[in-house]
């Protein structure tokens, strides 16, 4: 076990902030505790303007962030899977190929998401590596068509598919994959960071003392339901304080809202 080396592929990593990025950080720390060697291959942030170190070493973890063009384009292509794939797949494949040509000692390629998973399957075939794909979203695959067939082929070519929920697992099984190949996993919670505070003290610190607060924390994109939240705020009791924390393409629109 201690001799295993893991090549982790993901289009997103810290300093991007989100559920995936938080999970990957927890996952890497878990692997470090197991004395495993991890090489996390990712891109410089493509969702926010933040920048991370191009190369970072933490014990037996190496994080390699490569640049890619048109930062901010990712969120605009969320509803266009083919264009999103064409935008990001070449980056993951090229940088993955470059990494494996320099170091072929990896035992397994663990890819996160369908795009990184597609690159991992190609790399696994070329270099004879085991491939694990983690799914972090519900894809709403069409009942037929090229997108569904391609996705099924990619996932079927991996050794294991890890799904975040039963709903996600059922979606993947509905494509015809073997139940033995498709497993579920759960995001961890860092209880040293995310822990209950004394409510009255926290509200006083934020200037919310004596107020009823509705708090939204997340990416400011339509699929998170933030627009519906604003619609609810317009018709709700005006004494309610609505607090929204996050970044994304809807940020300017939300900041200009008058409730």
DSSP-assigned letter for residue 176: T
Higher pLDDT, 7 or 247: 7
> Does residue 145 share a domain with residue 220?
no
Mean pLDDT of 218-243: 91
Determine the average pLDDT of the residues in 42-51: 87
CATH number of the domain encompassing residue 79: 3.40.50.2000
pTM: 0.86
Residue 118 counted as domain residue: yes
Model confidence at 1: pLDDT above 70: no
Verify that 210 and 85 share a domain, yes or no. no
Cβ burial 35-74 (10 Å sphere, 16+ → b, else e): ebbbbbbbbbbbbbeeebeeeeeeebbebbbbebeebeeb
Asked if residue 77 and residue 46 are part of one domain, the reply reads yes
Q: What is the pLDDT of residues 246-257, one digit of tens each?
A: 887 788 889 988
18 has pLDDT over 90: no
Judge whether 192 lies within some domain: no
- Percent residues over pLDDT 90 in the chain: 76
Confidence label for 103 from pLDDT (cuts 50, 70 and 90): very high
Does residue 216 sit in the same domain as residue 122? no
170, 52: one domain: yes
Question: Where in the chain does DSSP place strands (E)?
Answer: 5-10, 37-43, 55-58, 61-66, 108-112, 130-135, 160-163, 182-184, 213-217, 241-245
Structural domain contains residue 190: no
CB 11 within 8 A of CB 39: no
Instruction: With respect to residue 189, please indicate whether it lies within any of the assigned structural domains.
Output: no
Among 109-113, 219-223, 252-256, the range scoring the smallest mean pLDDT is 219-223
Contacts (Cβ under 8 Å, ≥6 apart) of 200: 209
Over residues 112-143, the pLDDT tens digits come to: 999 999 999 999 999 999 999 999 999 999 99
Kindly tell me if the per-residue pLDDT of 232 is higher than 90: yes
In a domain, 38, yes or no: yes
The whole domain housing 171 covers: 5-184
> Same domain for 228 and 171?
no
Domain C-terminal end among 136, 155, 184: 184
Note whether 82 and 30 are same-domain residues.
Answer: yes
Cα separation, 145 vs 156, whole angstroms: 17
Domain count within the chain: 2
Q: What is the per-residue pLDDT across 146-190, written as a single tens digit (0 to 9) for each?
A: 999 999 999 999 999 999 999 999 999 999 999 999 999 988 888
Task: Assign 259 a pLDDT band (cuts: 50, 70, 90).
Answer: low
* Rounded Cα–Cα distance for residues 28 and 39 (Å): 9
Q: Are residues 87 and 15 in the same domain?
A: yes
User: Between 47 and 98, whose confidence is greater?
Assistant: 98
For residue 141, being part of any structural domain is answered with yes
User: Same domain for 90 and 149?
Assistant: yes
Res. 221: pLDDT tops 90: no
Mean pLDDT across the chain, nearest whole number? 92
Q: Do 222 and 113 share a structural domain?
A: no
158, 184, 210 — which closes off a domain?
184
- pLDDT tens digits for 72-101? 788 778 778 899 999 999 999 999 999 999
Of 136, 160, 184, the last residue of a domain is: 184
Q: Are residues 123 and 178 in the same domain?
A: yes
Specify the DSSP element, H or E, that contains 92.
helix 81-102
Q: Find out whether 42 and 76 touch, Cβ atoms under 8 Å.
A: no
131 and 226 co-located in one domain:
no
Question: Is the pLDDT assigned to residue 26 strictly greater than 80?
Answer: yes
In-domain check, residue 191: no
Residue 164 lies in a domain: yes
């Amino acid at each position: 076990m201690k001799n295993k080396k893991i090549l982790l592929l993901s289009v997103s990593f810290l300093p991007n902030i989100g559920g995936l990025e938080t999970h990957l950080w927890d996952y890497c720390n878990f692997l470090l505790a197991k004395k495993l060697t991890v090489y996390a291959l990712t891109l410089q942030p493509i969702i926010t303007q933040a920048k991370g170190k191009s190369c970072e070493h933490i014990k037996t973890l190496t994080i390699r962030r490569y640049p890619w063009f048109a930062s901010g384009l990712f969120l605009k292509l969320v509803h266009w899977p083919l264009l999103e794939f064409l935008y990001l797949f070449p980056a993951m494949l090229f940088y993955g190929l470059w990494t494996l040509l320099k170091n072929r000692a990896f035992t397994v390629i663990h890819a996160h998401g369908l795009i990184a998973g597609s690159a991992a399957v190609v790399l696994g075939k070329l270099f004879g590596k085991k491939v694990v794909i983690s799914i972090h979203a519900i894809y709403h695959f069409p009942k037929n068509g090229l997108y569904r067939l391609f996705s099924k082929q990619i996932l079927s070519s991996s050794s294991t598919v890890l799904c975040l929920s039963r709903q996600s697992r059922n979606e993947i099984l509905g494509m015809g994959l073997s139940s033995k190949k498709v497993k579920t996993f759960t995001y961890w919670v860092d209880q040293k960071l995310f822990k209950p505070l004394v409510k009255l003290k926290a509200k006083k610190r934020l200037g919310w003392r004596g107020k009823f607060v509705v708090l939204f924390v997340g990416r400011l994109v339509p699929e998170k339901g933030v627009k519906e939240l604003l619609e609810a705020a317009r018709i709700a009791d005006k004494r309610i304080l609505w607090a929204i924390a996050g970044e994304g393409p809807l940020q300017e629109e939300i900041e200009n809202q008058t409730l």
